[in-house]
Structure 1
Amino acid sequence: MRIAFMGTPDFAVPALNALHEAGHEIVAVYSQPPRPAGRGKKLAPSPVQRVAEELGIEVRTPVSLKGETEQAAFAALDLDAAIVAAYGLILPQAILDAPKMGCLNIHGSLLPRWRGAAPVQRAILAGDTETGITIMQMEAGLDTGPMLLKAATPINGKTAGELTEELAIAGADLMVQYLASPSHYAAEAQDDALATYAKKIKKQEARLDFSGSAEQVERQIRAYNPQPGAFFEFENNRYKILEAQVSDAKGAPGKALDDHLLIGCGTGAIQPTIIQKAGKPAMDLKSFLNGTKIPIGTVLQ
């Protein structure tokens, strides 16, 4: 098929590679413009742009697709379909309507659950036991379009980073499967009554709330790993907990219960296993405690 690919982060890279390997004619890749990155804040292309350039595909990085000039340039591609994966820009109706098959989205949840920007993190935070990928026909609403193909995967204690990588590969495979024989799959309307919304993650959400149960705190830790990183503060320093185990020990929320940094929660406690001080590498708990002493009874915020 003659397609355009529209995506920006690492999540979208497996789909771009899979579509290229499947022999589709990718005439253009759309990605968000390069952003400042690193200590030098130099402009850096997105992961999708880097891969597309390596594959020799034309890359377009418009700031918006609302203008007539951009819309005309898109229509001139004469596409069979546009494949979208975490692109990050709103697609106006003129863009949605231009390809013969419209725009098809790889969404990281089992729609209609977790429509929106952060479906992986919200599924973990909610304690869902499974999530998955939905291939959907895009329309003007936020992830409201008809569903074309779905595949579920268990969450099983995975971090958001691990789950995102798994779903990215699953989504790539599912999209290639769909495009190989689209007439074999019937579109299914979403039940709006079952919809939940995965709002964008804000950095302040990542401050650990030890007043919740140990299970809830552990879910915070997994949902915000790798970004933005679930954290607490001690002596004006910020510490991210990247991995932790749940304990049935009892103690006041946020209180260091022993000299191994067992931390009390609303019910139960958590035991960090991987921790990271701001500006420092992540390390196992034993190595961390060799250099940082948090006295028993300290209440962490």
Structure 2
Amino acid sequence: PAPAKPEVAKTGPAKSSIREGLIKDPAVRESPEAAIARGTGLAWRKPQLGEVVTPDKWLAVRPLSEPGFAARAGAGVDITDAVFREVVGDRELAAGPVVFAIRGAVSDRSSNPYASGHRLTIVPPDHLNFCCTIGVWDPETKQLSTYAASTVPNRTAIVSSALGVQAANMLLPGVFDYVPGSHSNYKKYGFPFSIIGALRQNGAGGGAGALKVLRATTPTGMQGANVSSTTDDNIHCAETPLLEPYDRFSSEGCMVVAGRYTPQEGHTGPWARFLKDAKFKGRSKVTVILANSTQLPVV
């Protein structure tokens, strides 16, 4: 008989969290501000798919701050059924629990179960930490739950947007309808799954359509940002396959809840509890409220 052919191990694409972006050439000593002012990205290059990009190579290695929140930092705001009824006014809400997001306000706990109200503390979003709150409001029971979250793009996205590599968006406050579905597909990075249980800005059956956003133009935050629009900034868990080791949440404009999803582990962390409260299953749309903490009454 003919000799058996040796088995050859099948190799797929290298698993990497690196996405399209620019990293600094170590031979070039130039600040991100200087690169922007010079109007060229020649001093920067895109990483290879399997390349490990360390913080000393990447531009976005420092916390940023949004100054509009600084004047009220440390003040408290109460979120209750009455507060959200005033925010939505006479707008018709989708059936079922409502998702709300408060930009620049945090609890002293990563999650708080249903209660008649919660007190949050105003903090300036820094594009690094969970400086926002996303939660669930049930208009029928008048109860609310809260979870550590972010409603701003991370530092990596801010700098990449300033260099023209990709867009970093920050959704403007409002009341919208989102569609239950999944977020992204990471096959080209070697992760053959999507994040299920997410809320899509647009999807099968409708959605919010194009929404106005601020788009970063400088590496220092959203100051001086342009007003633009987006159709695909979703709500999902903070940890994704593209999360860099020096970013604490993954977002180029999506709003995210602390926690993660993998096919092996399922939903974990505050994200898992958020999904349990929100009850997306079987719903065609979900009302989403986004407000800045500076819009709410201080207590």
State the TM-score, normalized to the length of structure 1. 0.20
Bigger radius of gyration:
1
Higher percent of residues as helix: 1
Structure with the bigger RCO (C-alpha within 8 Å, sep 6+) is: 2
